[in-house]
Structure 1
Amino acid sequence: MLTIERALVDKIIAHARADHPDEACGIVAGPEGSDRPTRFISMTNAERSPTYHNFDSTEWLQVDREMDDNDEEMIVHYHSHTSTEAYPSRTDLGYLRSSLADPRVHRVIVSTRDPHEVEFRSYRLVDGEAVEEEVVIVEAYE
């Protein structure tokens, strides 16, 4: 289950809408071992594509160092789908099944295909499959 503050969800959705028609991507970091997303970090989609995303490598290196310096880790990896539902694509599934993917990370997909409605869903990799998990949006962490 992903528990996340409304303000963070709003930032993810705003980033997805701002980058539309290209896919948006980014992370939400949090204290190591906490599973609590706290720091929103929008990333540049180096692909500038409506169907694929990839973090800018220079930017990612800087963010990774910042997280290390702050005793943080990636809690949420998010990206948008611009013309399809908020469900992992074949490319998404391929990455999730690779040795690079951390199974502890919540994989949020936001669909911006409908300008009036947004789909916000989260997945985890379980036994090689993307499994949708419950998303609980809170006003503030207790």
Structure 2
Amino acid sequence: MLTIDQATYDAIVAHARRDHPDEACGVVAGAVGSDLPTRHVPMLNAAMSPTFYEFDSTDLLKLYREMDDRDEEPVVIYHSHTATEAYPSRTDTDLAQEPGAHYVLVSTEECGNGDGPTPFRSYRIVDGQVTEEDVTVVAAYGEAVEESPRDTSR
């Protein structure tokens, strides 16, 4: 299960809407071994495409060096789909290289840049196997918030 704070959830959705009609992409880093996404890093889609995303190799190298210096790892790797559902494509599955990460997809198919539904779904992708997982959105980390998993498909 992915647990994510409301501010980070909102920032990912805002990034997806802002970059529409191109796919948005980014990383949420967290302390190594914590499984807690704490530092949102929106990235540039170097492909600048509505059907494909690609991290800029220089920016990605810089990010991995920063994460290493800060004892962080990619907890969430996200991107948006602009014309399809929030489910990993074959290309997404083939490119998934972080078995410990949560792969989040946001669909802007219905809302584009505006208000409206933005399905937000999380997956584990290991050795080409895709497994959807629940997403729980909390007000903030460390609070005793007892929430049931939120329906993030709308």
Uncovered stretches (5+) of structure 1, i.e. residues with no partner: none
Uncovered stretches (5+) of structure 2, i.e. residues with no partner: 143-154
User: Comparing both structures, which one devotes a greater share of its residues to strand?
Assistant: 1
Aligned identity (percent) is: 59
| Partners of 2:16 and 2:79 within 8 A in 1 | yes
Task: Quote the offset at 1:128 in angstroms.
Answer: 3.4
Task: Quote the offset at 1:127 in angstroms.
Answer: 5.8
- Which residue identity is paired with 2:72? E
CA-to-aligned-CA distance 1:53-79 (integer Å, 9 cap, x gap): 010111111111111111111000000
Which residue of the partner structure matches residue 128 of structure 1? 128
Which residue of the partner structure matches residue 92 of structure 2? 92
Which residue of the partner structure matches residue 41 of structure 2? 41
Within 5 Å, give how 1:46-125 maps onto structure 2. Answer: 46-96=46-96, 101-115=97-111, 116-125=116-125
Decide which moves more: 30-39 or 123-132. 123-132
Name the TM-score, length of structure 1 as normaliser: 0.94
Taking the aligned partners of 1:105 and 1:134, their CA distance within structure 2 comes to 14
CA RMSD of aligned residues (A): 1.0
Taking the aligned partners of 1:14 and 1:122, their CA distance within structure 2 comes to 17
| Partners of 2:44 and 2:56 within 8 A in 1 | yes
- Which residue identity is paired with 1:113? E
- Which residue identity is paired with 2:122? S
Task: Quote the offset at 1:90 in angstroms.
Answer: 1.4
Which residue of the partner structure matches residue 17 of structure 1? 17
Name the TM-score, length of structure 2 as normaliser: 0.87
Kindly tell me the number of residue pairs found equivalent between the two proteins: 138
CA-to-aligned-CA distance 1:3-53 (integer Å, 9 cap, x gap): 000100000000000000000000000001100000000000000000000
Task: Quote the offset at 1:126 in angstroms.
Answer: 4.7
